[in-house]
Structure 1
Amino acid sequence: MYLVLFTVFVCLSTCHCFIQKDVQKNESHCGLLKQWLESSLVSVELTKKGFHREVVTTVELSPDVLSGVRVVLLHRWPRGVYVDPYQLASLSEHSSWQILIDSAIDLEVPAHKTAGFVTYVYPALNGPTPRLKVAIPIHGRYHEPSYDGETFTAVEMQHPELLLRTEKCSQLNNVEPHTVVDAPCAHDNSSTCQWLKLQHQERGPAGVRFPVGDGSLVAPVCGGTLLVTMLCCVALSKHMWEHRIS
Structure 2
Amino acid sequence: MSQWKNHVPLLSGIVSSWIVFFIFMSQHVSAQDSCPKITQWLLKDGFHRDLLSRVKLGAVDEDTGSCMVAIKIHLPKGLYVDPYELTSLNKHNITEALLFGDYVDLEAPEYLATEIAVLLYMKPDPECRYCFRGILPLHCRYHQPAEVDGEVSAILKSPEILVHCQKAFLSAECLKEIKIEEPCSRKNKHNCNWDSVKFQAVNQELKLQIPVGLKHHVTLVCTGTLVTTILCSSLILSALVKHGDFLFVQSSL
Q: Please indicate, yes or no, whether the TM-score normalized by the shorter chain is above 0.5.
A: yes
Residue number in structure 1 paired with 2:148: 149
User: Percent identity of the aligned residues?
Assistant: 27
Aligned ranges 1:231-242 → 2 under 5 Å: none
Shift of residue 158, structure 1, vs aligned partner:
1.3
Name the structure 1 match of 2:175: 178
Cα distance in structure 1, aligned partners of 2:54 and 2:134: 7
The 5 A counterparts of 1:15-34 are none
How has the CA–CA distance of structure 1 residues 235 and 56 changed in structure 2, closer, same or farther, with 3 Å as cutoff? closer
Is the deviation greater in 221-230 or in 66-75? 221-230
| Residue identity in the other structure for 1:89 | T
Q: Which residue pairs with 1:23 in the alignment?
A: none
Task: Determine the structure 2 residue equivalent to 1:56.
Answer: 52
Q: What is the CA–CA distance in structure 2 between the aligned matches of 1:45 and 1:235, rounded to whole Å? A: 47
Contact 1:80 1:140 in 2 (8 A): yes
**RMSD of Structure 2 on Structure 1 (CA):** 3.7
> What CA distance in whole angstroms lies between the structure 2 residues aligned with 1:124 and 1:233?
52
| 1:46 paired to 2:45 | no
**2:125/2:133 contact within 8 Å kept:** no
Secondary structure of residue in 1 paired with 2:88: helix
Corresponding residue SS for 2:72: strand
* Cα distance, 1:195 vs structure 2: 2.2
Amino acid at match of 2:193: Q
TM-score normalised to the size of structure 1? 0.66
The 3 A distance-change label for structure 1 pair 77 and 152 is: same
Q: Which string of whole-angstrom CA distances, capped at 9 and with x for unpartnered residues, describes residues 150-171 of structure 1?
A: 10111001122211123567xx
* Residue in 2 that maps onto 1:140: 140
Q: Which residue of structure 2 lines up, in the alignment, with residue 107 of structure 1? A: 106
Change (3 A) 1:140 1:167: same
Name the amino acid aligned to 1:79: K
Change (3 A) 1:79 1:183: farther
Aligned amino acid, residue 210 of structure 1: I
Q: Is the 8 A contact 2:40 2:53 kept in 1?
A: yes
Render the CA deviation track for 1:104-138: whole Å, top value 9, x for unaligned.
22221111111111111223447794322212111
Identify unmatched segments of 5+ residues in structure 1: 1-34
Q: Which moved more, 1:156-165 or 1:122-131?
A: 122-131
SS of equivalent residue, structure 2 residue 218: helix
**Distance in 2 between residues matched to 1:37 and 1:191, nearest whole Å:** 33
Mean Cα displacement is larger for which, 67-76 or 127-136? 127-136
Aligned equivalents of 2:71, 2:116: Cα separation in 1: 14
Deviation at 1:36?
A: 11
Instruction: Say how many residue pairs are matched.
Output: 203
